[in-house]
Structure 1
Amino acid sequence: MLLPKSFHFLFFTFFFVLNLFAQDKGKTMPLKKIINDIEQQHQVSFNYTEDNIVGLKLNPPEKSLSLDQKLQYLTEKTNLSFENIDNKFINIYKKENPVLKICGYVFSGTDKKPIENANITLSNQTHVTTDSDGYFEFEKENVTTFLISHIGFITKKSTAGNSNSGNCLKFILEPEITQLQEIKANAILASGISKNTDGSLEIKPKKFGILPGLIEPDALQTMQQIPGVNSLDESVSSINVRGGTHDQNLFLWNGIRMFQTGHFFGLISVFNPNLAHTISIYKNGSSAFYGESVSSVVAISSTPETLEKNSFSAGINMINADVYGKYNLSKKSYIEISARKSITDFLETPTYKEYFDKVFQNTTITDFSQTQNVDYRSDKKFDFYDATLKYAQKIGNKDQIVLDLITIKDNLEVFQSATAYGIIRTENNVLRQQNYGGNLSWKRNWNPFNITKVNIYNSSYELLADQKNTYENQLVIQENTVNNNGFNLENNHIINSKFTFNDGYQYNEMGITNLERVQNPDFYRKVKDVLRTHALILEGKYNDTISRVYFKAGTRINYIEKFEKFIVEPRIQFNYGISKSLSLELLSELKSQNSQQIIDLQKDYFGIEKRRWIISNNTTIPIQRSKQLSLNLFYKKNDWLLDIEHFYKKVTGITTSSQGFQNQLEFVKTTGDYEIWGAEMLIQKKMNHFLTWLSYTYNHNNYHFPRYEFPVFPNNFELMHSVSWAGIYEKNNFKIALGTKWTSGRPKTSPDISQIDLANPVLVYNKPNSTNLHIFSQVNISSTYKWETEKGIQYKLGVSILNILNRKNEISEYYRVSTITNSIEEVETFALQRTPNMSFRVSF
C-alpha cells in the first residue's frame, strides 16, 4: 500500500511542477506585444526603433503592478532603458549604446496636439520626421543646431545640448497665418496698371508700358486715362474726378499731403516718374485711414516691398533733366536720392514754347503786351526743380525706420516794358510756388499677427506773387501759405488667414495764412486760421479667395476741436466673384474736408495760379461733406476685359468761390452742393503683343445753390460724354501707342445781347451754363525703345507728339468789357497745339 501511495504522490508532484514549468514557458511573448498591452492599460505611448526590440521575448509583468514597477521589471529582464515622460510617453533605447541622442516632442501652439510628420533638419543636412505622437530623435554626433518645420507653422530653430540630459525636449510651433493675396486684374489700359479687389487702381511705374502721348510713367498724367477722371484744362493741377474740383482730391507722397501737384503751373507732375514704386488711386471706397478729402485719393509710395540692388539712372527730355540713385549702405539700410530740374534756363525748346503759350494765355502777363502798340519788350525767366531723399534702416528683425524728405519749387520772373506816346510803363512780376515735406515713420512687427505703424509728418506750402508797376508806382504782394502737421498711429491685427482688423488714431493740425499788401493806395490784410482734428479709425477686412468674397468695412470718427463737432464717416468695399471670370463690386463712403481752394479775383497771382487755400469756418465756408455709391460689374476672360460701373455722388458745403465762375456768379458769395450720377465703361482686348481699349463715360452733374435765383444748373466741370481709344503694341524692347480722346464741350454762360446797351455796355448774362463749348478732340502718339549693353547698362529713347493733327481745341470761354474799345469782348482759352517731346535715359 505504501508503494502505490508514494508513487502517486511523487507522480502528482512531478506533474504539478512540470505543469508550472510548462505554464511559465507558455507565457513568454514578444516585447512588442507586452508594451502594446501596457499602452492600452495605462494610456501611455512607447517610442522606440524596431531594431532595439526585434526578437525579444519574455514573461509579461503582472497586470496588478504599477506602471513604474512594470518598467522596472522590463529594465531588469532586458538590456534596455525605459524613460517615463510625464506618464504619457515612454522612450526605449539600449543601455549599452554610447551614442548621445537628442529627442523631443513637437506640439501645435493652438490646440497643443502632437504634430505628425514635422521635418527636423539637422545642421549636417540630414532629416528626421516626427511620428503620430510628435516624437523624434536623432544621434547628436556633430549636430549643433536643427530646424523644426511643418507646412502651416512657423519654422523654429533650436540648439542641441552638450550631452544627453535624460529628458526629451518639448517644442511648440506657432501657426503661420498667411493672408490670402487679393486678386488683381493686370494690364488695365497698359502694362504696369492693375485693378485690386478693393476697387483701387494700382500703378507700378517700373513695370509701366506706354500710353498715348506719354513717354514716362507720370502718375497724374496716367490717371487721366482712367474713366471718370478728367482735366478740363489739360492740367495736372486741375484734375476732376467724377465732377469734383482738384482740391477735393487727396494727394499723398509717402504719407505727406501735397498741396502743390504740378510744375510749369500744371503741365508736368511734381512727382518724379522714375522714383515711385506704387501709386494707388481710389475713386470711391477708400480706406478709413484716408481723411480730408471728398473726392478721390492718390497715394504714392516710393518704399519698395523688398530690398533692391544698387541702381543709378539719369535722363533728359525737352523740358527737364533728372538723376536718380539708390545705394544700399548695409543689408538692412539704404539711401535713395532723386533730383529734377528744368532746362529752360539755357534752352527754349519747341515743347517749352507750346507749354509757355498754353499757360500764360489770357493772363495779366500776356494782357500787358496785347494792350501796347509800340516799342514793347519782355524778359522772362522760368525754372522749376524737385528733389527727394529717403533713408531706410531696419533694426533687428522687427523694426524699421524710414525718413522721407521732398522739396518742390517753381519760380517765374517776368520784366515787361513798353513806351507809347512818350510814356514808359514797366512791370516786374515775380511768382513763386513751393512745397516742402517730411515724414518720419516707424514700423514694428510685434509677431507674425500684429504690426504697428507710426509716422510724424509736416507739409509746408507757399504761393507768393510780387508785382511792381513803375507807371502807377504801385506794389502788390499776395501770399498764401499752408502749414500741415500730423501724427498717425495704425495697428494691423491678423486674426486668421481670412480676417484682419485694423485700428488707429490720427491727429492733424492745419494752419493757413492769406496775406495781401498794396502800396498806392495803401492796403494790408493778413488772415491766419488754424484747425486741429482728431480721428479714431476702426476697420475690418474679410478676404476669402476660395469662395471669392472680399468685404472691408470701416469707420472714421473725426472730432474738430474748434467747432466741437463729431463727424462719422463709414466706408464699405464689397467684392463677390460670381464666377472665375465675373465679379460684382459695391463701394460706398462718407467723407469730409475742412480745407479748400477758392478764387477771390481771376487776376490774383497774375491770373496764372489764382487759387488760394483757406480753412472752413463752419458758417460762410462750410465743412465739405460727400457721399458716394458705386456698383461695378467686372468681366475678364480669354484676354477680354469689360468693366462697367454706375455711380452716384453728392458733395455739400461747396462755395461759389471754389468753383472758378467767370460769369454772373463770379462775385456772388453763396454755398450749395453738386450732385452727379453716371456710368463708366471700359472694354479691352489683348492679342499677343497688341492691346487695344475703348472707354466711355457719361456724367449728369448739376449745381444746387438754393439762395440763388437759378438754384439748379449744370456744373462747371460737367463733361456729359467722354470717349477714349488707344491701340498699344509692345514687343521686346519696342513700344508704341496711338490714341484719341473726344469729349463733349464743357458748359459755358453766354451774354444776353438783347439786354446790353452797346453804347455803354454792361454784361448781362443768360442762365448760367446754359450752353456748351465745341467738342474737344485730340490724337496723341508715343513710342519708346530700350536696349542694353554687355556691361548691363540700359538706354531708353522716347518720342511723343500731343495733338498730332494740330486741332485748335477751346477749353474755356468768358466775356469782359474792354476799357480800350468800350465793347464786350469774348476771351477764349485753347488747349495745347501740336507739341512734340523727346527723352533719353541711361540706367545701370
Structure 2
Amino acid sequence: MLRPKQFHFLFFALSLALNLFAQDKGKVMSFKNIISDIEQQHAVSFNYTEENIIGLQLNPPKKSFTLDQKLQYLSKKTNLSFENIGNKFINVYKKDNDVPLICGYVFSGTDKKPIEDANITLPNKNQVTTNSNGYFELKKNDKNLLLISHVGFITKRITTGNLDFKNCLQIYLEPEITELEEIKANAILASGILKKPDGSFEIKPKKFGILPGLIEPDALQTMQQIPGVNSLDESVSSINVRGGTHDQNLFLWNGIRMFQTGHFFGLISVFNPNLAHTISIYKNGSSAFFGESVSSVVAISSTPEIAEKNTFSAGINMINADVYGKYNVSKKSYIEISARKSITDFVETPTYKEYFDKIFQNTTITDFSQNKNINYRSNRKFSFYDATLKYAQKIGIKDQVVLDLITIKDNLEVFKSALSYNIDKSQNNILRQQNYGANLSWTRNWNNFNTTKVNVYNSSYELFANQQSTVSEQNVIQENTVKNNGINLENHHIISSKFNFNDGYQFNEIGITNLEQVSNPDFYRKVKDVLRTHAFIAEGKYNDTISRIYFKAGGRLNYIEKFKKIILEPRVQFSYGVNKNLSLELLGELKSQNTQQIIDLQKDYFGIEKRRWIISNNSTIPIQRSKQLSLNLFYKKNDWLLDIENFYKKVTGITTSSQGFQNQLEFVRTTGNYEVLGTEMLVQKKMNHFLTWLSYTYNNNNYHFSNYEYPTFPNNFELTHTLSWAGIYEKNNFKIALGTKWSSGRPKTSPDFSQINLSDPVLIYNKPNSTNLHVFSQVNISSTYKWKTANGIQYKLGLSVLNILNRKNEISEYYRVSSLTNSIEEIETFALQRTPNISFRVSL
C-alpha cells in the first residue's frame, strides 16, 4: 500500500509526464499560432503569404526541438518549404509551386533598417507590399520588371529575367533628397554648422571649419556668432540669448545639467572642443523633453553616431594642454577619455596675462588700497582642469549602456601685501569653483519602430571663497553648493514614414545650500532648500518631404511637489517649404524655471564669480516663466542664403537681484518681467572656397517693475543694434577667417550731480539705464593649417588674434563713493586688449 508521500510523488510525476506529452502531442493548432510560438522562443520572424497557410492546422513540434528540427518537422508535415536566413528571418513558400518564386527584402540605404509598406509594382500594375521585416514575395515570369518605391526614398528599377533566385534579393533604397531638407541642410556661418528644419542650430565639431578669432570648435564661443546670441562682457559664463541672463540658459553635457560653464571665470568653455560630436542650440521651439530654462538650450553630446576607429590626439595652446583617446575594447564596447589642464603653473604667456587683467579688473583681487593695482604676480596661483570618461557597451543586438563622467575645477590663490600709511596690509584669498557630473543611460531597441531610453544622472556644483585679512583680523567664508539628480524616461515610436510620437517621464531633485561665515564680528548663516519636480512629456512629429511640411508639437506637464503646483508648457515647430528655395518657419514655446542666480553684494566671492544659485520660494523669488513666438523666412539659391527671423519674448518672475544692477536698484528687492521684440537677419554668400556673411540683430528690450518708481526702463542686457561680418577662405588644409563685430553700447545709469552735495556725497541717480556706453567694435582673425605624414600622423597648427586693432572697448560702468577720498568715483571695465593665441595638435 502506498504511503501518502509516495502517493503525492507518483501523482506529481504522472501529472508532469502527461503535461509534457500534452505539449508534444497536444491538440491540433493553426499553423499561424505554431509559428508565432516559434518566433517568441527563437527570436525569429516568419515571412509568408496568407494564401499559402490559410486553413492549415497540425500538431505542433516539440518545444525541446532546435529551430532547424522544428523547421524540418513543419516541412515534413506540410506542403511548405522553409528558408532560414541567418537564424533571423524564415521565408515560407509552397513546395509544389511550378512557377519560380521571387522573394526579397527592402532596406534603407542609410541605416540598413527594413522598410515596411514599400511598394513592389509589376508591369501589369499589380502590387505587393513589404511586411514589417521589409520582406516580399511574388511569382517569377520570364521578364519581370520590378519598381520598388516608398515615400521619402528614390524609386529603384530591377529586371529579374537573368537573376538567380536561390536566395532572396536584398534591395537598398536611398533617401530622396527633398527641397525642404536641401534648404535647411547647407552650412551656415561656417562648415560644420547647420540649421535644422526644427529651427535649431547643429554644430559638428569634427567637421568644423573656422570662425574669426577661433582656432578650435569651442561650443560656447561658436554660439556667440549666431544672431541673437551675445555676451556683453566677453564671457562664456555670461551668455545672453535674446536679452536673457546666463542662468536662464540650459546647458547639458550628455544629459547632465552643468552649473559651471566657464574656465578662467568665464573666458574659456569648460567643454573640451576636441570631444563633442554634436552640439544642438535652440533659441526657441525646443523639444518638450528640455525643461528648467526660460531662454535657450545648449545640448552637447560626445556619443558618436557611427562606430569609429581607435584614436589619440594631444594639443597645447597658450592657456592649456589636453589629451584625448578612444579605444575599442571589443566589437561592442569602447572607452573614451579626455583631460585638459592649464599651463599657468609653469609659464605665464601673453594670452594668460591679457585674460588675467580682463577678469580681475575692478574686483577685490585688484581693488586693494586706494583702488590701486598691487603687483602680486609672484604671490598668486591660478589653475584649472577638466576631465571626462565615457564607457559604452552594446548588449546583444537591442541594448546599449553608456556611462559618462565629467569633472571640472578652477582654483585661485592670492596673497597680497602693501604698505599704506605705514601700516602693513595683507590678505590671503582662496576662490574655488568646481562641477562634477555623472550619467548612466540604457537604450533598448524593442524593434525597428520602438525605442526606450532611460537616463539616471547627478550633477554637483560648488563655489567657495575664503578671505583672510591681517589688518582687520577678519575671516570671511562664502559657499554656494548645488546637488542635482534625477531620472529621465524617453520612448520613441515610429508610427509611419511620416509620423512619429515620443513620450516620457522625468523626475528631478535639486538642493541648493548657501553658507556665509564671518569672524570679528561673528556671523553665521546657512540656508538649504530642496525642490522636487515631476514632468510628463508627449510630442508628435509629422515630416512630409513631398509636400515640404515639417510639424512638431508637444507638451510638458510639470508638477512641483513643494508648491503643489502644475505648469503646462506647450511647444510647437512648424516649417513649410513654399518652393525649393524658400521656406517659412513658425516656432513657439512656453517654459518655466525654478532656479536662478542672484547677486547679494557685488563684492561677494571677491567680485569675480559673484552670482550664487538659489531656488524659487514661489513668493519673493517666483518661478520664472517665459513665452516666445518667432516667424522665420529662409531663402537659398545659387549659393546665396538669406535668413530673417522676427520674434517676441516675455519672461516673468525675474528679481532685481538676478539682473546684476550696480545703480539705485542694487539693494532694491522686487520682482517683475522683461519683454523683447527683435529681428535677426543673416545674409551669406559662398563662392568656391570663399564664404562671407553679414548678420544684423535689433532688440527692443525693456524691464517692467510695477512696484518701482520707474516701472519701465531698458534692460541691462539690451544691445539695440549688433552688426557682424566675416570672410572665410578654406582650401584643402588651409583655413583663414577675418571678421568684425560692432554693437551699440549697453545701457548705463549716471548720477544726477545736480542733486549731489559733493562735499559730503551720497549717490543720487537719474532714471535707470537712461544712457548708453560707447559703441563696441572689435576685429578678429584666425588661421589653421594641417598636414599628414606618410605614416598617418596628422598635425594641426592654429593662430588667432582677438582685437587686432587693440581698441579699448568699455563693457561696463558704475559709480561709488570712495571711503578714502570721500568723492564719487567712476569705475570702468574694459574688454580684452589685443590677445594672441597659438595652438598645436597631433592626432594619431
* TM-score, L = length of structure 2: 0.82
**Secondary structure, aligned partner of 1:562:** coil
Q: Structure 2 matches for 1:656-695, cutoff 5 A?
A: 656-695=656-695
Contact 1:179 1:498 in 2 (8 A): no
1:352 match: secondary structure? helix
The equivalences for 1:545-624 within 5 A come to 545-624=545-624
Q: Quote the offset at 1:423 in angstroms.
A: 1.9
Asked if the contact 2:376/2:415 (under 8 Å) is kept, the reply is no
Give 2:191's aligned residue.
Answer: 191
Shift of 1:660: 0.1
Moved more, 523-532 or 360-369: 360-369
The corresponding residue for 1:702 is 702
Residues 203-258 of structure 1, C-alpha deviations (whole Å, 9 max, x = no match): 00000000000000000000000000000000000000000000000000000000
CA drift at 1:719: 0.1
User: 1:347-386 maps to which residues of 2 (within 5 A)?
Assistant: 347-368=347-368, 370-371=370-371, 379-386=379-386
Residues 187 and 193, structure 2, Cα contact 8 Å, conserved in 1? yes
Q: Which residue of 2 aligns with 1:252?
A: 252
Residues 384-533 of structure 1 correspond to what in structure 2 (within 5 A)?
Answer: 384-533=384-533
Q: Which amino acid aligns with 2:698?
A: Y
Question: Residue 315 of structure 1: SS of its match in structure 2?
Answer: strand
User: Residue 221 of structure 1 corresponds to which residue in structure 2?
Assistant: 221
* Aligned mates of 1:623, 1:769 — CA distance in 2: 26
CA distance in 1, matches of 2:823, 2:223: 42
**Aligned in 2, Cα 1:119/1:643: closer, same or farther, shift over 3 Å?**
closer
Distance 1:573 1:759, change over 3 A: same
Answering whether residue 833 of structure 2 is matched by residue 836 of structure 1, we say no
Count of aligned pairs = 724
Aligned: 1:754 with 2:754 = yes
Q: What do residues 356-384 of structure 1 show as CA deviations (whole Å, max 9, x unaligned)?
A: 00000000011115546999886100000
Q: Please state if 1:316 is matched with 2:320.
A: no
Shift of 1:577: 0.2
Q: Which amino acid aligns with 1:781?
A: I
Find the aligned partners of 2:315 and 2:119 in 1 and give their Cα distance: 60
Secondary structure of 1:223's aligned partner: helix
8 A Cα contact 1:114 1:133, kept in partner: no
1:643-675 deviation digits (Å, cap 9, x = unpaired): 000000000000000000000000000000000
Deviation >3 Å, runs of 4+ = 83-86, 88-94, 101-120, 128-135, 149-153, 169-182, 369-378
**Structure 2 counterpart of 1:653:** 653
Residue in 2 that maps onto 1:284: 284
Aligned-partner SS, 1:787: strand
| Contact 1:345–1:382 (8 Å) recurs in 2 | yes
**Shift in alpha-carbon separation, 1:687–1:419, aligned structure 2, 3 A:** same
Q: Secondary structure at the match of 1:191?
A: strand
Amino acid at match of 1:528: K
Name the CA distance, whole Å, in 1 between partners of 2:120 and 2:698. Answer: 62
CA distance in 2 between partners of 1:808 and 1:468 (Å): 34
Task: Pick closer, same or farther for the CA change 1:554–1:175 going to 2, 3 Å.
Answer: farther
Contact 2:366/2:373 (8 A) holds in 1: no
Distance in structure 2 (CA, Å) of the matches to 1:654 and 1:692: 39
For residues 310-354 of structure 1, the C-alpha deviation after alignment (integer angstroms, 9 at most, x for no partner) is: 000000000000000000011111000000000001100000000
CA contact (8 A) 1:377 1:416 kept: no
CA distance, structure 1, for counterparts of residue 93 and residue 341 of structure 2: 74
**SS of equivalent to 1:364:** coil
Letter in 1 for 2:633: L
Secondary structure, aligned partner of 1:358: helix
Cα drift, residue 105 of structure 1: 7.8
**Residue aligned with 2:365, SS:** helix
Q: Is 2:632–2:645's contact at 8 Å kept on the other side of the alignment?
A: yes
SS of the residue 1:357 aligns to? helix
Q: 1:45 to 1:620 in 2, by over 3 A?
A: closer
3-state secondary structure, aligned to 2:197: coil
The percent of aligned pairs where both chains have the same amino acid is 78
Question: 1: distance between equivalents of 2:757 and 2:247?
Answer: 39
C-alpha distance in 1 between matches for 2:377 and 2:792: 51
Matched residues in 2 for 1:202 and 1:648: separation?
A: 23
Deviation at residue 546 of structure 1 after TM alignment: 1.1
Q: Displacement of 1:470 after TM fit?
A: 0.9
- Aligned equivalents of 1:784, 1:105: Cα separation in 2: 54
- Cα distance change on mapping 1:817 and 1:395 into 2, 3 Å: same
Secondary structure, counterpart of 1:706 in structure 2:
coil
The separation in 2 between residues aligned to 1:353 and 1:690, in whole angstroms, is 34
The correspondence of residues 109-128 of structure 1 with structure 2, limited to 5 A, is none
Does residue 734 of the first structure (1) align with residue 754 of the second (2)?
A: no
Larger radius of gyration: 1
Q: Which amino acid aligns with 1:734?
A: F
Residue 3 (structure 1) aligns with: none
Counterpart Cα distance in 2 of 1:112 and 1:272: 44
TM norm structure 1: 0.82
Q: Hey, what's the Cα distance between the residues in 2 that align with 1:457 and 1:200?
A: 25
Q: After superposition, where does 1:50-89 map in structure 2 within 5 Å?
A: none
Q: Give the whole-Å Cα distance in 2 for the aligned partners of 1:832 and 1:570.
A: 41
Is the CA contact 2:367–2:373 (under 8 Å) kept in the aligned structure 1? Answer: no
SS at match of 1:466: strand
Which range is displaced more, 174-183 or 382-391? 174-183
Q: Summarize the Cα distance change of 1:429–1:778 in structure 2 as closer, same or farther, 3 Å threshold.
A: same
| Runs of 5+ consecutive residues of structure 2 not aligned to the other structure | 1-49, 53-77, 82-91, 107-114, 152-165
Aligned-partner SS, 1:368: coil
The answer for the alignment partner of 1:52 in structure 2 is none
Residue pair 1:377, 1:418 contacting (<8 A) in 2 also: no
Equivalent residue number for residue 10 of structure 2: none
Distance 1:687 1:372, change over 3 A: closer
One-letter code aligned to 1:748: K
Checking the alignment, whether the CA contact within 8 Å between 1:378 and 1:414 is kept in structure 2 is no
Alpha-carbon distance in structure 2 between the residues aligned to 1:599 and 1:374: 26
Match in the other structure for 1:537: 537
- Cα distance per residue 1:719-753 (max 9 Å; x no partner): 00000000000000000000000000000000000
Aligned to 2:211: 211
TM superposition shift of 1:106: 8.3
Distance (Å, rounded) in 2 between the aligned partners of 1:359 and 1:317: 19
